[in-house]
Amino acid sequence: MHKIEIAQHILDRVAARRGGTTLFKELQGRKTALVVIDLQNAFMLPGMVGEIPYAREIVPNVNALAEAVRRAGGKVVWVQMKIETAGEGAWTVYLEHMSGPVFRDAEIAALTPGSHGHALHDDLDVRDGDLVIEKTRFSAFIQGSCDLDSRLREAGIDTVIITGTVTNTCCESTARDAMMLNYKTIFVSDANACRTDEEHNTTLGNILRIFGDVASTQEVIGRLKQAGGGEFR
């Protein structure tokens, strides 16, 4: 598990700006969604092209949060990355410039729907009634990536809890865009994962500074238990 350590100067700046470092102390369960980003075999299994070893360690926390959100009356959303190589959805700048051909071809193969890499990891507690959504960009909220925004708004969701991998890529991109689309955004410190503690903690500082709340799994579950004056059941 990542060693969580947000820089003190960030904590001090946040406290001075808004009088404390906790934003959303009270949650309304039926207006809250857990958004789980890219916990797919491509990022989870040893030897896979995008393997993030820390991602395997956050699965129990993600599952605990999913159960807590369901019990509070909220939505659980499992988001899968897919790569489109042709047509209007093709992400040509990323595919042609951000990686060499060996890594690019391996990533395409691993994140093509129907492949073993594209599938959600077996240890995730995916239930009937949860949403499973595919996205085509790092952010699940950017225009054209997927229909997450419209589906959450239809469900009356105004608060999102962000978990998954990679902390400083898809998770951070999704969290930033969520806030800019006017969602209350909570980024879970011990239910996101990337390659190093340094990168992970840098993102936590970025989110806390201006984009949302940062809280631990147990802190979020504690808030959900109090959600809506007894919705937790």
Q: pLDDT tens digit string along 183-211?
A: 999 999 999 999 999 999 999 999 999 99
CATH 3.40.50.850 fits 8-229, yes or no: yes
Q: pLDDT tens digits, residue range 51-94?
A: 999 999 999 999 999 999 999 999 999 999 999 887 777 887 88
Cα(48)–Cα(42) distance, integer angstroms: 5
Backbone angles phi, psi at 80, to 5 degrees: -115, 135
**What is the reported pLDDT for 233?**
60
The residue-averaged pLDDT of 146-151 equals 97
Cα(33)–Cα(73) distance, integer angstroms: 9
Distance of CA 23 to the CA centre of its chain: 18
Q: pLDDT tens digits, residue range 30-46?
A: 999 999 999 999 999 99
Of the candidates 138, 211, 224, which has an alpha carbon nearest to the alpha carbon of residue 175?
211
**What is the reported pLDDT for 230?**
47
**What is the reported pLDDT for 59?**
98
**What is the reported pLDDT for 223?**
95
Of the candidates 57, 35, 19, 33, which has an alpha carbon nearest to the alpha carbon of residue 224?
33
The residue-averaged pLDDT of 221-233 equals 73
Return the amino acid letter for 141.
F
Edge to edge, what strands does the sheet with 75-81 contain? 131-135, 75-81, 32-37, 159-165, 184-193, 213-215
Of the candidates 138, 110, 119, 130, which has an alpha carbon nearest to the alpha carbon of residue 50?
110
Percent of the chain predicted with pLDDT > 70 = 97
Q: What residues contact 212, with CB distance under 8 A and at least 6 apart?
A: 23, 162, 175, 178, 179, 184, 185, 186, 187
* Token pair of 18 as six digits: 């808004």
**What is the reported pLDDT for 228?**
53
Asked whether residue 109 carries a pLDDT value surpassing 60, the answer given is yes
